[in-house]
Amino acid sequence: MNKQQVFNPYLPSWEYIPDGEPHKFGDRIYVYGSHDKFNGKTFCMNDYVCWSAPENDLSDWRYEGVIWRKEQDPMNPKAKHSMYAPDVCQGPDGKYYLYYFCDYMGVIGVARCDTPAGQYEFVDYVHYADGTRLGKKKGDIFQFDPGVYVEGDKVYLYTGFCPTFYPFFLTGGKPISREGAVVTVLKPDMVTVDVDPKYLKARCKRNSAGTPYEGHEFFEAASMRKIGDKYYFVYSSFLGHELCYATSDKPDGEFEFGGTIVSIGDVGLNGVKGVKDAKNYTGNTHGSIVEACGKYYIFYHRQTNRHCFSRQACAEEITIKPDGSIDQVEVTSCGLNGGPLKGVGEYEARIACQLYSAKGCRFYSVFKGGEGIHPYFTQTGEDRESDGDQYIANIRDGSVAGYKYFDFDGAKSLTVSVKGNGVGKFTVTDENGNVVSIVSITAQKDYKDFTADLNVSDGTHALFFKYEGKGRIDFNKFILA
């Protein structure tokens, strides 16, 4: 039972952890991911850190500190290469192993620690018995996004990267995956190849026609979990904004496509067909499943700051059905909370699970877009210097910020805190389109509060704030009372 409320994103407003791999070790949930920089110029500019929470209180996230630095890699002594998505497992020897790679170097490094979130020390690169590093042997594919799963004394390493076109100069001439994800079985020493790489038959764009994978092909972000007697291969599809899954009765078997677990724009739900009509700004995402106190959660990341270089960790509860299938879940503001948020209290605007302009959304890529008509999440200050100052910027006529869900019981007023040069109103509706409040706004240079009556029935409801007016505003927080 959570001791306090928890929101999406579930880490502090100044923390940017994408590619989250959640694992339960002992009675705590640990999240390992790459580490973006606020307003970064490329992916994963910071060192690896770890956060953890008690299994029975997913509101109590603790910063474990830096667990691995870029310059600790022997091939990266000057820290020039960024470290992309890692994974961690407990080996047969009881120690913890970090699998990582540095952007386009094309090999998988392994570091070891006695505890899940201590200081990891370099062990070796994954290699064949003759010492050739995995990824450097003739015929090897370019190594990317390691996911690792241990069962008994067998260690399964999953990799793969399947764009339809990729410049060979970035991969050192190594081919990208042509058929989908690859699994390599390692020896109990955690670094030596025992069974050579083979394709999982989790289809990519080149070979998906006429298969259940078509339209949701494997792209990157390989991750493996076992739930009951099924193995779940979780991955980011070619669409980028969604995490999908496939299942098998073996960790290296033929995987059958299952479906979409989550889309950061709710594409595929409630009539949303694509990124332009999505209910949130999309981009790449990466994550996996963890069980805590009998419940299952999907961890993923969202985009901020108008590009894909400042991503934040989110999570949603999911249901594993008796037949092993998983229905797609919507993105929410209450993620790990165990239910809706209280219908009274102060909430930061940054916990919006829906954000879009009068003309819809866009897909964030490596190219930073101008403000234009699009609202976006951002913060003041520099990277990791400020807490609690993230807000929604550049809200213009027709922009919507949505929040799901609240449990209302007698709330009668709504206060919003905004600044800017906008003159207009927030028309606030519930999930059925009923107008529950109209808050008039005359924004100023500094944040100012504006209050209006709130006419929402008791029970669980969403709130959607639509700005109608001139100019632009920045939205900092709102209060339900």
- As annotated, the active-site residues are 19, 220
In 55-211, at which residue ranges do the beta strands (DSSP E only) sit?
62-68, 87-90, 96-100, 109-113, 121-125, 147-151, 154-159, 182-186, 193-199
- The total number of residues shown for the chain amounts to 481
Which of 44, 38, 111 minimizes the C-alpha distance to 82?
44
Q: Rounded to the nearest 5°, which phi and psi values hold at 299?
A: -100, 140
* 3-state SS, residue 25: strand
β-strands 400-408, 289-292: how paired?
A: unpaired
Count of CB atoms situated within 10 Å of the CB of 247: 17
* 3-state SS, residue 351: helix
Residues 199, 181: Cα–Cα separation, whole Å: 6
Which of 467, 456, 461 minimizes the C-alpha distance to 403?
461
Contact predicate 313/50, CB 8 Å: no
Q: Which helix (H) or strand (E) is 312 found in, with range?
A: strand 307-318
Query: Residue 374's Cα: distance from chain center in Å?
Result: 21
Residues sharing a CB contact under 8 Å with residue 329, sequence separation 6 or more, in sequence order: 261, 262, 298, 316, 317, 318
Contact predicate 214/117, CB 8 Å: no
Q: Rounded to the nearest 5°, which phi and psi values hold at 21?
A: -110, 105
Sheet holding 21-25, edge to edge: 21-25, 28-32, 48-54, 62-68
Contact predicate 59/5, CB 8 Å: yes
